[in-house]
Structure formats: C-alpha cells, structure tokens
Structure 1
Amino acid sequence: MPVLEGDFITINYTGSIAGTIFDTTDEEVAKDAGIHNPEALYGPVTVRVGNHHVILGLDEALEGKEVGYEGEIDVGPDMAFGPRDPQKVEAFNKNAFKEKPRLGMNLKVDEKGEGTVVDIIGNRVLVDFNHPFAGKELHYWFRIENEVTATEEKVNGLIRLYAGRDMETSFSDGVLTITLPPGINYDRRWVLWRSRVIGESLEHIPEIQEITLVETFRRRDAVE
C-alpha cells in the first residue's frame, strides 16, 4: 500500500549540497564524509508523513510511495531552508560581544537568534542570520524502510527524533508510560523538546489517552 499523509514510517536518507554530504542516517557514510557525531543516534528515523519531521521537499516526496521505495530528489530553496535574505545580514560593533568575534564564528544575539560572522571590518562585525543552507539546492537519497504501527514504536521514534536518545516506554489501557533515565532533567535537548513529544503523541496517536512520565530517585546509600 502507498504511504499516506499521517502514516508513521521509518526512512534512511543522505542529504548533500553540490556533492558534499551534510546529513545522513548512515553512520559509515557520516564517517567517510567527515561529519560523524559520536553522540548521535544513527540508523532509520521515524517520521510522520506530513508533519515536516524532515524538510518539506523530502516530506512531500514520501507520500504515495511504497515501503521499500528508494529514490533521489533535488530540493530547491523554497522547499528546503528558504531563499537567502540580504536583510538578515546585520552590522554590530565589535564591543557588543563578550567574546572576540572571528570569521566563521557562530554567535547568539538577543532578539535576533543565532548567526555567523561573515566579515570583520575594523570595529564593525557583519553577522549573517540566514540559515547556512538558505538559497541552496539540496540533493537527497532516501529509502522507505518500514511502516510503524505499534504505539510504543511511534512514541519511541518521536523521542529519538526530538531528544536524540532512547527511553523505555510501555502502553496499556490507553496509558502510555515513559520511564525517564537518571539525570534527564540535565539534558537540555529533552527539556526543550519534551512538550513536543508529548503533544504530538497525544495529537497523532489516537489510542493514547494519557501519558505518564516516571522518574525514579534513590537514596545515595541505597545504591552504594
């Protein structure tokens, strides 16, 4: 059966710009391309078609394909990271930054977000707030691996997608239980995306009526 909007599926993909790989689910490809992240989880990713869990151009390419389909697409800026906007390149006084700016340095500016230093002229620093891939055409190879139907697997996929880690989950009588690992409150990525995981699980997995987060604390002398 063809993949439809709203289906949960697992996919593998590799994205490149002018032949240079910038993202992949394949760990060996990442190593060969020099972009390997030892803290990342590699392997197929779970996405809900139509939810823009991947860039728009790739998301739309998934619909209507069969499980096992393998193909390649070119994605223009309008379906990727948007056109490059010259007005998003702004000048700042060098003294406005706590750390001495350097070419290529990523900076976070209040109310502007993150940008990249693209030029330094005297005391003037030019910062580009466009996405690094804005205005560029992307190329993707992708393969649809499986359809995801089990409740726990859907949630596990969302946790991996947003939090970049695995957690233990169980589902019974409409209640999904997520067992949180020790120290999770110090994981900034989980703290940032927890509400998205919970919200999308409740919105898009109708059999889930309630979500319980379980966090266990033990006395120090009980574990020594």
Structure 2
Amino acid sequence: METDCSDGNRLQDLIRNDKMAEKGEFIELEYTGRLKDEGMVFDTTSEKTAKEEGIWDKNMKYGPAIVCLGEGQLLSGLDQKLVGKSVGKHTIELAPEEGFGKKDAKLLRIVPTNIFRQQKIDPVPGLQVNIDGAMGTIRTVTGGRTVVDFNHPLSGKEVVYDIDLKRVVKDDKEKVKAFVSLALGLKDLDVDIKDSVAVISTGKEIPQEIAEKLQEEIARLTDIKKITFTKNNTEKEAEKKEK
C-alpha cells in the first residue's frame, strides 16, 4: 500500500523555508567577529562583549541587527556563507579574500616624513592618518621616509564570526526600517505602512535622488510599492516656533 506524502512534504518545506536564510531575505542576527590566530575581538553586536574586550563605542547601537542577505550589508564571505543557514548558532571562518582582503603591496605608499611634521603630526608606527581623503596606517618611519599602509587594518587576516541567527524577518515594517536605517546611517526613525505604502519619518530632509533609489530597492526586496519621507513631528513644531 502506497502512502501519499505530498502534504507532509509540503509542510516540511514550509517549516524549512521559514527557518532557513535565503538570498534576498531579511534576517535578525547577533554576532562577534574575532581574529582566528590572535583571538582578538574586533566587532560585536553585544555591548557586554564590547566592554569586556575594550572596544566599546558610545556612538554604536548594540543589540540584534536586521540585514538583507545578498545586498552587501555584511562582509562578502559572511553574506555568502549565511545563505542556507538555519536559525540557531553558527561559527563561520573567513579566509582573507572572503573577509577584509589580501595584502596588496600597491597600497603601501612612501610619504616624506616632513609632510607630517609640517602638520604637527608625530609619525609613529601604528598611527592612523588621513591622506588625500584615504585612511592609512603608518608602518615604519626611517629617516626622512614614512611608509603608510592603505590596506584595511585587518587585511591578510583570517577571521571567525560567532553568529546567532535569531529569525528570518517577515514583517515589511521591520524590513523597511532596518534597510533605511542602515542606508542612511540613522539610529531612530518611524515607519508606518498602509496599503503597501510606507511613510518614513526621519527627522531630516532626504535628497530626492536618494529617496528614489531607496524606493527602488525597497520595492525590489519587499511588498512595499511606494515610500514617502517626512520630518518627525518634533522638528515640524520646532520649525513653526522659529517662524
């Protein structure tokens, strides 16, 4: 006697798809990144860990983060390796080319030491400097020559991420808020959704070209068809008082 398992298989597929992270989906996660060899923590969503490791930043918003897989919101290797992962805890190792890149000798530049002295900068190894808008790290200072490394400080390093993938996010309001917050670098904004239209209160003016690009991306990634940016009520009241 044969048994029709199609209904059971469909149910298993639904359960599996709801808990697996796929490209283009939004996920909520917590993570801690550390160097594989040294064990030094360089990034984390945990405020407790940040304080323990001496990397706490008062300007950083700690706690679970919501990101969209495949949209370049994470390191490329991490982005790729999270696809297909189930909800739960994972340890992911990244080779240099999957993380912060390999060391590139072309990004080492010799700068006359007196240029730093003229700007009242004492060039010492390890000091980070801004030269022509590019951040670099001083590697050596010999006589009148200073070698500045414009590679990422973690380039050439193998890194390990401890991931707690909490859930696959289904709510469009959460998706829009997370995507716009990350794109604009805003910590607090309000999102209201009605009839596939999202009204986003940012507290600041958003240039039209940026608003149009965000609308295009959000329409591609969610069921929201239109977004509108407004200032929040507090700023509107302040503007009225000034007038």
Q: Same fold per TM (> 0.5)? A: yes
Alignment of 1:26-175 (within 5 A): 26-67=46-87, 69-97=88-116, 98-103=119-124, 104-110=126-132, 113-162=134-183, 163-175=185-197
Query: Which has the greater radius of gyration?
Result: 2
Aligned equivalents of 1:123 and 1:199: distance in 2? 52
Corresponding position of 1:177: 199
2:31 maps to amino acid: Y
Aligned equivalents of 1:85 and 1:78: distance in 2? 11
Deviations 1:50-83 (A, max 9, x none): 223111222222111222x211121101111110
Deviations 1:169-217 (A, max 9, x none): 1112232111123xx46xxxx99xx667555324322x22222111243
Aligned equivalents of 1:101 and 1:201: distance in 2? 47
Give the secondary-structure state (helix, strand or coil) at the position aligned to 2:236.
coil
Contact map agreement 1:159 1:166 (CA 8 A) in 2:
no
1:7 maps onto 2:25 in alignment? yes
1:209 maps onto 2:225 in alignment? yes
Deviations 1:8-53 (A, max 9, x none): 1101110001211000111101111111112211111111112231
1:4 maps to amino acid: E
Give the secondary-structure state (helix, strand or coil) at the position aligned to 1:217.
helix
Alignment of 1:180-195 (within 5 A): 180-181=202-203, 184=204
In the TM superposition, residue 221 of structure 1 has moved relative to its aligned partner by: 7.9
Higher normalized helix content (fraction of residues): 2
In the TM superposition, residue 149 of structure 1 has moved relative to its aligned partner by: 1.3
Aligned equivalents of 2:201 and 2:237: distance in 1? 15
In the TM superposition, residue 218 of structure 1 has moved relative to its aligned partner by: 3.5
Give the secondary-structure state (helix, strand or coil) at the position aligned to 1:3.
coil
Structure 1 gaps, min length 5: none
Change (3 A) 1:50 1:109: same
Contact map agreement 1:46 1:157 (CA 8 A) in 2:
yes
Contact map agreement 2:188 2:202 (CA 8 A) in 1:
no
In the TM superposition, residue 101 of structure 1 has moved relative to its aligned partner by: 4.2
Change (3 A) 1:100 1:14: same
Give the secondary-structure state (helix, strand or coil) at the position aligned to 1:16.
strand
Identity %: 30
Aligned equivalents of 1:199 and 1:28: distance in 2? 37
CA RMSD, aligned part only? 2.4
